[in-house]
Every structure is written in C-alpha cells, then in structure tokens.
A and B are shown apart, each in its own frame.
Chain A
Amino acid sequence: MPTHFPLFPPTASTVAVEMDLLYLFIVAICAFFAILVVAVITYFTLKYRRRSPDAVGADIHGSLALELTWTFIPFVLAMVMFGWGASLFFRLASPPANAMELFVVGKQWMWKVQHPEGVREINEMHVPVGRPVRVSIGSEDVLHDYFIPAFRVKMDAVPGKVTTLWFEATQVGTYHIFCAEYCGTKHSGMIGQVIVMSPQDYEAWLAGGKSTGTAVENGERLFTDLSCVTCHKPDSSGRGPSLLGVFGSTVSLADGRKVVADENYLRESIMNSQAKIVAGYQGIMPTFQGMVTEENLLQLIAYIKTLKPAAPAGGQGK
C-alpha cells in the first residue's frame, strides 16, 4: 500500500497552478456557505428547542430585505466564479501560434501518437519541457477522452472530427494519460504516460526514434498512393480544384454558402466528400471513408496544410 497520500496531482503545466488556485478559491467560498448554513441551523435547533408540547414558533413571515440580500450575494459570487472560469477556459481553448503539433488518435483501447518529425509511439507521449504543444485528436471508433491530470487538460476524441488541446509542460517527469470518456471493456486500460524531457533530451530521443517519415511526408505519399493527384493538380487543370493554399482560405460552395477551410473541412472533404461541393465542380470525388485510417487522415491534412504557408486558420461548422 503506498505511503504517500497526495491531495493534488502534480502541477506540471503552465495552467496547473492557476487551476489549483481557482479550485481553492471556490473551495473557500463553498466551505464558507456550507459551514455558515449548517452552523446556523444547528444553533437555531438547539437554541429554540421546543420547550412544551404545545409550543409554536414566532409569527414571522419573511423579510424582503433579507431575501434580496441572499439572492444578490450568491449571484455576485457566482458571476465571479464564472468570470474567472471563462477566462481560463478561453486560454485552454486557444493554442499559441508557435506551438508544435502532435497527432493523437484514440482507438479501442490505445492511444496512437505521432510526432511531426515522424516518430510514432503507442500509449506514450514524449514532449519537451517549456514549449507549447498542440495536440490534434481523432478517434477511429467511439468516443474517448485524452486526459492528462498533471497538466489539467482534457479533451474528447470524437469520431468524425478533429479536436484540439494544448499545454506547455513546466516540470520534467512522467505523468499519467487517462482515457476519461467511457469506451468499453478496457476503458480503464486505455492509459499511458507523458514523458516530459528537457529540450536536449527530447531532440536526442527524437533522433534515436525510428522515424517512419514525417506526418507531411507520409501525407504526401498517401496523396499519390490514393491517387488524389490525378484530380488535384497544382494548377486548375485537374478534375478537382487545386489544393494549393486551400487551408485557411474561404471556399465558395455550390449552394452559395462560404466556408473557411479548416482541419474539419478538409477532413469532411475527404471522408464525406458529398457533404460540401466546391462551386464550379461536380460532386465526383469518391469518399475515402473506410479506405484511410484516422492516422492517414491526419497525415493527409498535415500535407495539404503545407501546400502553402498556412494563412490564419478559420473554421467551419464542425
């Protein structure tokens, strides 16, 4: 039986300390109210004990001033909690532009991780300390959730779309990765480790790792193997639109709508090509649903994104 008895998980990311502070702040408010109310009630029950079997209480019906006070104070406190929570939430949702990008795919019951340089690992994720890391998450089957308690981050892996989380590790060490969304038999076995290393160690580890080609290289190869090239030529001579610079651009669709081409748009264009047809083209592109794995897909997207220096990312409906 372990002897140490922690109350907090390790604080190993830039947001962890603030998360703990927010937590303690709310603990303080709530402890105050819980103790206050219970103490008051217990005190009244003792003080105003029934002294004779027929005794009745005083004829008091209420007080508007009191009602307003105890409506207003909790309201204000709740709004403070909301404000702080919302600001932290926004920061957790917006990865810095200079973040390095990792790809994580969940499938029953393992996590597959790929580094931009091409190194892959399973149920382990090596990251450098002090550098923001953006993780693009996909799922091959059901819902999962990528959870690293030490970093205080968590995000669902949703089949059919790409989701994102980011963190910046501050402490070298080894921490848990959990799958936090129920996914079946071995949900509790879908765990792993994040290994935070100094930048030098990370470089060394990368160099020692067996690269199976970078994500972009793999994506480029798939682009040829799956004969995407036959339709998507660099100029507009193919049967499909040129994909140069498509990422981040605003695409006009056949039905007159405009969408910004982000990861989920690219994903949908490949897996469910009929959903949005580019203006001026026929919906002849086959769907690659079932032919490319979630990993391949992230690689294809990584490649398409390089087809032009990425413009500021926009988004679309998914």
Chain B
Amino acid sequence: MDQQLEASTLGMWVFLVTEIMFFGGLFMAYILYRYWYPDAWAAASNHLNVQMGAANTIVLIISSLTMAMAVRSAQVGSRGGQIFFLIATILFGATFLGVKYFEYAEKFEHHLVPGLGQVFAAPGDHIHATHANVGSAEQLFFSLYFIMTGIHALHMVVGIGIMSVMLFWAWRGRFSPEYYAPVEVSGLYWHFVDIVWIFLFPLLYLLGAHLGAGH
C-alpha cells in the first residue's frame, strides 16, 4: 500500500473511532433505560414497523456491497464499473431514506413522537389503550428511537453527498489503480454507517418482536 493511501486509511479509521464514541453516547442512554424499563421498552418497540426496518437493513447491506464493488472497480481501473456502482450505492442510500420518511410519517400519525408540543399517544391510540396513562418510559424509547435513527439518517445524507462527489470525480476519470484513496476512504465511511444500522435494527425494532405483532 502506498504512503498516501496508508495515511488516509489510517486517518479515516481514526475518524471512525470518534464516530464510534459519538454513537456510543446514545447507546449508553439506550442501555441504561432499557435496563430500567425492560417491559415498557419491549412494548414500545413493538410499535415500530419491523417490515420497513428489515427492508431497510437489506437495502443498506446491498448498498455496502455496491460500495465495495465501486472501490474494487477503482482498484482494477474500471471507470465504467466505478460509475455504475457509485450510482447504485447512491440509489440504495436514497431508498433507505425514502423508507425512513414513510416510517417517520407513520409515527407522526400515530402520535408516537414525543415533544414538538404534541400530545404523546393520543386517546384511543393503542399505546393509550393498553396502558392506563400516557406511557412515560415509552416516551424515552421513542425519544431515543428518533434521535438515534435521525442521527443515523443524517450520516446517510452526508454519505450520499460524499458519494456524489466521488461519482463526479470518477466520471472525470480521476481515479486509477495508482490513485483511489478518496473512494477507498469514503467507502470506509459508508460501511461504518451500515454497521451502525446493523446494531440499531435489532436493538430498536426487534426488541419486542417476540411479544407478537403490534400492528
């Protein structure tokens, strides 16, 4: 591996360590409240849409594959390959965000969004029906659900931005088997965002799945 590539790869990994710690703070809050309120959390988790979550997991994994292939195309010097796989990566990333949009919209409809001056879980809603009062530990769950997936989605948006730049450069033929560090390190970032989701999916969506479908 040449100097330049080695330095940027190391740099990106060091940066990803900061990302690990950044998300780590959120996971810390998650662990504590889940430890305190296991039931409420399992129940609240059951209001998430597992189908959409699972679909998104698959979408992200595919995008990781196309990302890896894009880097590989750069390594072997295939400009067409780079362009094709980068476009695919961007599209799958966008699909992920689209699905997220529908998920969020659904939560708004069901009044599962804490804050924003809204009443959490309006009368007649299922959360309200199963519990005597407005769930509060459930609110903590939804708070963290929105913050965690929101920050993750923000990372996706940034990732799509980076990939668009890479696509532009690839299209201009900037990368070669000798020089492909930018694609390589952007790829690392993209895979990292995928990894975060790999943890978010079971922790948020599947937590209460054994209780039976909530919908």
Footprint of B on A, CB under 8 Å? 253-255, 257, 272-275, 277, 282-287, 289, 317-318
* Contact A275 B131, CB 8 Å, known A287-B136, A289-B136: no
Q: Which residue of A lies closest to B36 (CB)?
A: A317
27 cross-chain CB contacts under 8 A: A253-B39, A255-B38, A257-B38, A272-B136, A273-B132, A274-B40, A274-B131, A274-B132, A274-B133, A274-B135, A274-B136, A274-B137, A274-B138, A275-B36, A275-B40, A275-B136, A277-B39, A282-B132, A283-B131, A283-B132, A284-B131, A284-B132, A285-B132, A286-B133, A287-B133, A287-B136, A318-B36
Interface size on B, residues (CB 8 A): 14
Nearest CB on A from B138, distance (A): 8
Residues of chain A within 8 A (CB-CB) of B138 are 274
Residues of chain B within 8 A (CB-CB) of A273 are 132-133
Footprint of A on B, CB under 8 Å? 35-40, 131-138
Q: Which residue of A lies closest to B130 (CB)?
A: A283
With A257-B38, A274-B131, A285-B132 known, 10 other A-B pairs at CB within 8 A are: A255-B38, A255-B39, A273-B133, A274-B135, A274-B137, A275-B36, A282-B132, A286-B133, A287-B134, A289-B136
Q: Which residue of A lies closest to B135 (CB)?
A: A274
Residues of chain B within 8 A (CB-CB) of A275 are 36-37, 40, 136-137
Q: Which residue of A lies closest to B132 (CB)?
A: A284
Q: Which of A254, A274, A318 has the most CB of B within 10 A?
A: A274
Nearest CB on B from A56, distance (A): 37
Residues of chain A within 8 A (CB-CB) of B136 are 272, 274-275, 287, 289
Nearest CB on A from B7, distance (A): 33
Q: Which of A255, A257, A275 has the most CB of B within 10 A?
A: A275
How far apart sit A105 and B131, CA to CA, in the bound complex (Å)?
A: 31
Whether the pair A286, B132 counts as a contact (CB closer than 8 A) is yes
Residues of chain A within 8 A (CB-CB) of B37 are 275
Nearest CB on B from A284, distance (A): 4
Whether the pair B137, A272 counts as a contact (CB closer than 8 A) is yes
Q: Which residue of B lies closest to A318 (CB)?
A: B36
Nearest CB on B from A295, distance (A): 22
Residues of chain A within 8 A (CB-CB) of B38 are 255, 257
Residues of chain B within 8 A (CB-CB) of A277 are 39
Q: Which residue of B lies closest to A256 (CB)?
A: B38
Residues of chain A within 8 A (CB-CB) of B135 are 274
Q: Which of A257, A282, A284, A287 has the most CB of B within 10 A?
A: A287
Residues of chain A within 8 A (CB-CB) of B40 are 274-275
Q: Which residue of A lies closest to B138 (CB)?
A: A274
Residues of chain B within 8 A (CB-CB) of A257 are 38
Residues of chain A within 8 A (CB-CB) of B39 are 253-255, 277
Nearest CB on B from A116, distance (A): 31
Residues of chain A within 8 A (CB-CB) of B134 are 287
How far apart sit A29 and B37, CA to CA, in the bound complex (Å)?
A: 47
Nearest CB on A from B54, distance (A): 25
Residues of chain B within 8 A (CB-CB) of A287 are 133-134, 136
How far apart sit A257 and B34, CA to CA, in the bound complex (Å)?
A: 13
Q: Which of A254, A272, A286 has the most CB of B within 10 A?
A: A272
Nearest CB on A from B142, distance (A): 14
Nearest CB on A from B131, distance (A): 5
Residues of chain A within 8 A (CB-CB) of B131 are 274, 283-284
Residues of chain A within 8 A (CB-CB) of B36 are 275, 317-318
Q: Which of B37, B133, B135, B138 has the most CB of A within 10 A?
A: B133
A-B pairs with the 4 shortest C-beta distances? A284-B132, A255-B39, A287-B133, A286-B133
Nearest CB on A from B83, distance (A): 53
Residues of chain B within 8 A (CB-CB) of A283 are 131-132
How far apart sit A283 and B37, CA to CA, in the bound complex (Å)?
A: 13
Q: Which residue of A lies closest to B39 (CB)?
A: A255
Q: Which residue of B lies closest to A282 (CB)?
A: B132
How far apart sit A282 and B131, CA to CA, in the bound complex (Å)?
A: 8
How far apart sit A255 and B133, CA to CA, in the bound complex (Å)?
A: 19
Nearest CB on A from B20, distance (A): 27
How far apart sit A188 and B133, CA to CA, in the bound complex (Å)?
A: 39
How far apart sit A255 and B43, CA to CA, in the bound complex (Å)?
A: 12
How far apart sit A209 and B214, CA to CA, in the bound complex (Å)?
A: 58
How far apart sit A75 and B123, CA to CA, in the bound complex (Å)?
A: 62
Q: Which residue of B lies closest to A271 (CB)?
A: B136
How far apart sit A286 and B136, CA to CA, in the bound complex (Å)?
A: 11
Q: Which residue of B lies closest to A257 (CB)?
A: B38
Residues of chain A within 8 A (CB-CB) of B137 are 272, 274-275
